[in-house]
Amino acid sequence: MTPRPDLNAPARRMLAAAAALAFGLLGAPAAADEPEPASASAPASAPAPVAIPAPAPAPISDPEYPPPVVVDDPPPPSPSAVPYLPVNFGFMYPISTNVGAPDAFTHLDIALMLGRIGYLGGLQIGPVGWVGYDMRGAQIGLAHVVEGRAEGLELDGIFSIAQGDFAGAQIAGLMGWTSGRLTGLALAGMASYVYADVDGVLAGGLLSVARGKVRGLQIAGGTNIGRVDGLQLGIVNVSAEVRGVQIGLINVARRIKGVQVGVLNITDKLEGESLGLLPIPRRGGVHPVIWGSNSIFANLGVKFASAYAYSILGMGLHNRPLPEGKRQAAFTAGLTLGARVPIAEGFAVAGDLGGNRLFADGVPLTTHDELYKARVLVSFEIAKRLVPFVGGGVAMAVQGSDDLRFSILPEGTAGIEL
């Protein structure tokens, strides 16, 4: 008997395909025809393979921010590879004999306005001169520029510029600039600037700046800025480090190995001495001082102390005797300079010289009324801000206008430093 065909099988297969397509679009696994149950004698199915994630795609650089392209400057041509002109004349380049050859090598370049050459091995004269590469010789005029190394002399009424190292003398009426190392002398009427080290002298009328280290002398009529191994001399001196001497009205150094001499000296780390009316180093510091003496009864001052030297700005009150047997109140203002030497644990000996001006009613400022002192003091440090001291010496009073009167008296004093 012939089996009866299943007329619903094509319909079931079409429904299964539609379900698979629908579940595939939704991201779910498609349902297939139900498998026939495995018989007991059928072997066990193999374990499902472990899914290995695909590697992350490499990041795509933003086309608006491409990586920077580093382009090295091509090396300059050698002097033998450029045109050679023993002598070059011109009005203003390119109106010159080296027209079309700005990189020419020449020994003598003369221009009425602007001279432009590549290499100089001799002399360049003119109001404005330009050397594209190296110079060995001299440039004389109002303004000159060397883009490479320079050896010799730059003498200009306005400015001199060397873009490379300079060995020789750079002298300018207003400004001198060296981007490389300077060996020799740099002198300018207004400002001298060296971007690297200086071996020699760096001087400016108003400003002298060295970005590197000055081994020698740095001097300015106004302000010096730079690290110095030698002498820094100016009205205002600013240095990260000084190994030598710093002299000026105002001296500022982060670290000094040597001596500061000035009115106001400020340093963070002092390995030496600071000599000034107002030395303010981290070592030593600023201390209030109260003392009395037989010459000036009550005194209040501020002590500026460095490693060994100190100065005291003080004011006082005195009730001085008059010839008629009366007494007169007088105010004083004075300055004391001295030095202190430790002698034992907590003990120190100091010696100082001071001068005081007395102000009283009926005494004009045009007359002399001063008191000068020389003292020897012994102190003992009970605590860092508690240092009593005693001492003595001699005091000399100077009074009068046309006929000066001098009187000498012994000085005894005692006080405390806080």
CA distance 232 to 253: 11
Instruction: Give this prediction's pTM.
Output: 0.67
* DSSP class of 81: G
Residue 129 pLDDT > 50: yes
**398 located within any domain:** yes
**305 located within any domain:** yes
> Are 173 and 156 within 8 A, CB to CB?
yes
Domain count for the chain: 1
> Are 149 and 165 within 8 A, CB to CB?
yes
* DSSP class of 165: -
The pLDDT value recorded for residue 22 is 45
The pLDDT value recorded for residue 56 is 55
The answer for residues whose C-beta is within 8 angstroms of residue 235's C-beta and 6 or more apart is: 220, 221, 222, 223, 248, 249, 250
Average pLDDT over residues 238-254: 92
- The domain spanning residue 340 has which CATH number? 2.40.160.20
- pLDDT tens figures, 158-198: 999 999 999 999 999 999 999 999 999 999 999 999 999 99
Residues of the domain holding 362: 285-417
**111 located within any domain:** no
**57 located within any domain:** no
Residue 215 pLDDT > 50: yes
Lowest mean pLDDT among 44-48, 146-150, 154-158, 248-252: 44-48
- Could you tell me the two tokens for 275? 């000599």
Cα distances from 395 to residues 98, 112, 231, 283, 374, in angstroms, run: 81, 73, 38, 31, 7
Q: Which of 225, 170, 131, 206 is nearest to 178 (CA)?
A: 170
**386 located within any domain:** yes
Give long-range contacts, CB 8 A cutoff, 24+ apart: 267-275.
270/306, 270/307, 272/307, 273/306, 273/307, 273/308, 273/309, 274/306, 274/307, 274/309, 275/306, 275/309
Mean pLDDT of the chain: 82
The pLDDT value recorded for residue 79 is 83
Position with higher pLDDT, 80 vs 251: 251
- pLDDT tens figures, 15-68: 555 555 444 544 444 444 444 444 444 444 555 555 555 555 555 555 554 566
CA distance 139 to 120: 9
- pLDDT tens figures, 348-371: 899 899 888 888 777 777 788 888
Average pLDDT over residues 330-334: 86
- Could you tell me the two tokens for 47? 């374990």
The pLDDT value recorded for residue 282 is 67
Confidence of residue 323 (pLDDT cuts 50, 70, 90): low
Q: Is the N-terminal amide bond of 43 cis, ω within 30° of 0? A: no
Cα Rg of the chain, angstroms: 44
**117 located within any domain:** no
DSSP letter string over 89-150? EEEETTEETTTT-TT-EEEEEEEEEEEEESEEEEEEEEEEEEESS-EEEEEEEEEEEESS-E
**289 located within any domain:** yes
Half-sphere exposure of 245 (CA within 13 A, CB side): 11
**356 located within any domain:** yes
